[in-house]
A and B are shown apart, each in its own frame.
Chain A
């Protein structure tokens, strides 16, 4: 996994802008609250999106992901709280911030009687950053990027759900962006389409673009993101780097070997806690390191087929967090996964 390199990138970030902490955040919300009638959609959301991160906003349907994103982009006025986007206060700074932001929110919104290309031309006409003469080329490139060139002149009406989603992605990527917001981008996509969206996100990340992806699919976030914010019932129950969040759970080494008993005895002789597991030996890494464990086993003549780090899945972390939130101590969990500063 490439998480190791990601971590070093993120750890460098604070040093770059040590003078002013807000400068390294692409987006920041403070005490954000939105009430529709008597329904509290979002409450006390303090979201930090570090520059250059791919932040996965994770939560079940109705947890406030889309509402938060809509307030972030100035589409909805917050009932209370503040939003900063690329250093501009929203929604007043929309004119400065949004040209740098590409967004796909609440599914694609296009006209059924226009072709994909015509729909994009219409969106492109409204893009402040596009020079008029560059519009056709920008639209062509965006269509190519999402693999819609062949269907570009067909009516949007006839598009499959996946093609509609791709067109939405193309409109978010019409202009080179600093920040891209994708609300459930893989909705309706087949596995190939999902992989392509991941590739686009990886490309954006490589180019230094900050990405905010919301999803209710844990695997999706685990595969694409460097950072995670977990929303539950309108509040952020945890946020931070993905690796940190995952490693906060129990960690150990799982060794596959045919000589289970020999292995456990050898490790215990060396004061390394170990126990039999269904598919090998589970070693606690609290007091030792993985290479040391392997060396010990090899010295004892144990055949090691495979040794892999056993990490808590995001699913487990998520279940734990939301359960904790349901019991009423959700807010205390925020601190558990704060970034080390």
Chain B
């Protein structure tokens, strides 16, 4: 215990740890986390289950037992022998609950969870300035959510092509896109979904900075999305719809129309960027006065 130190530790004369070292440490920590590994397992398996389910359900759709959801039904009806549609379908489905849930979970752990365990105090004492803590956490959440969407997309493409088959993308407009352009459309879809997920994560991070209970973050984020979805389905409130983040999510399906309408997609994108800016601003405001 009272052992003398063998050799003195070389100390650098600086007031901040190198930012790349911080980011790498944060990422390694997030990815090693058991819940993250489980999440990625689910993200890899979900497209495979969807592919199997769809190849079975195609018969039901043909028999006229169409699901009540217009968007999903119209996509499901063109799934047979059209494997490239699977990643698009899986991304649409995941946007409803899975991806918002995971992104709010990572945001919840990033600040509220770290406050609860006391690990955030360790960072602040190192010291890492509050602005930097938020930046590092936001970076970690952004990278992991991107990886989540990429996992979903890649496994979606693989599962689609092997289980459902097909060598191009049959669009909702009835045309068939060649393989190269199909991949391009799927990549575009993935990018758009990623940005929507970032918007959810940014708002969740703002809540995360304001509480020390990770569950509060998840509950309020998912609750918010559910309320937004309900409001979005009340026609009398159509003046409110442009303000709701979820309003842009339906137009993500425009990616598989030919030619691709861009109005809905652009609106959704701008809306997401606004939510990102507002979310991080609130998080920063809260973070700068948060008790460590």
- A contacts, CB < 8 Å to B: 70, 73-77, 94-96, 98-99, 101, 103, 105-114, 121-123, 125-132, 134, 137-138, 141, 144-147, 171, 175-176, 196, 199-200, 203
Among residues of B, the one whose C-beta sits closest to the C-beta of A192 is B1
Number of interface residues of B (CB under 8 A): 41
Q: A123-B126, A128-B16 are in contact. List 16 more A-B contacts (CB 8 A).
A: A76-B292, A95-B16, A98-B125, A109-B118, A110-B118, A113-B34, A114-B29, A125-B17, A125-B21, A126-B126, A130-B17, A131-B10, A131-B11, A141-B6, A176-B9, A199-B2
Q: Is the CB of B121 within 8 A of A125?
A: no
Hey, which bits of chain B sit against chain A, CB under 8 A? 1-3, 5-18, 21-22, 24-25, 29, 32-34, 117-129, 289, 291-292
Q: Considering the chains assembled together, what is the distance between the CA atoms of A144 and B5 in angstroms?
A: 9
Choose one: A98, A113, A203; the contact of B126 (CB below 8 Å).
Answer: A98
Q: Tell me if B25 and A125 are in contact (CB < 8 A).
A: yes
Residue numbers in A under 8 Å from B18 (CB-CB): 132
CA distance A106 to B29 in the complex (A): 23
> In the complex the two chains form, is A134's CB within 8 Å of B10's CB?
yes
Q: Which residue of B lies closest to A101 (CB)?
A: B125
Which residues of A are found within 8 Å of B29, using beta-carbon distances? Answer: 111, 114, 122
Contact between chains at A129 and B12 (CB < 8 Å): yes
Q: A73-B125, A75-B125, A126-B126 are in contact. Are A113 and B16 (CB under 8 A)?
A: no
Would B122 and A94 count as touching, CB distance under 8 A? no
Tell me, rounded to whole Å, the shortest Cβ–Cβ distance linking B213 to chain A.
16
Q: How far, in whole Å, are A139 and B32 apart by their CA atoms in the complex?
A: 20
- Of the A-B pairs whose beta carbons lie under 8 Å apart in the complex, a sample of 14, sorted by A's number, is A77-B289, A95-B16, A109-B117, A109-B120, A111-B29, A111-B117, A122-B29, A122-B119, A125-B17, A126-B122, A130-B9, A130-B17, A137-B9, A145-B5
A-B pairs, top 8 by smallest CB distance, nearest first, are A109-B118, A75-B292, A125-B25, A126-B126, A98-B127, A95-B15, A129-B11, A196-B1
Pairwise interchain contact B17-A126, C-beta atoms closer than 8 A: yes
Contact check, A141 vs B119: say whether CB atoms are below 8 A apart: no
Interface-centre pick from B1, B21, B128 (highest chain A CB count, 10 A) = B1
A107, B10: Cβ atoms closer than 8 Å: no
Q: Which residues of B contact A114 (CB under 8 A)?
A: 29, 32
Chain A nearest CB: distance from B112 CB in Å? 13
Docked-complex contact B289 and A132, CB < 8 angstroms: no
Name the distance in Å between A240's Cβ and chain B's nearest Cβ.
Answer: 28
- For residue B128, which residues in chain A have a CB less than 8 angstroms away from its CB? 126
- Complex contact B121–A105 (CB within 8 A): yes
Q: Are B15 and A99 in contact (CB under 8 A)?
A: yes
Does B291 lie within 8 Å of A146, measured CB to CB?
no
A50–B123 CA distance with the chains assembled, in angstroms: 27
Neighbouring B residues of A196 by C-beta, 8 Å:
1-2
Known: A76-B292, A113-B33, A147-B1. A127 touches B121 (CB 8 A): no
B11-A176 in contact (CB<8A): yes
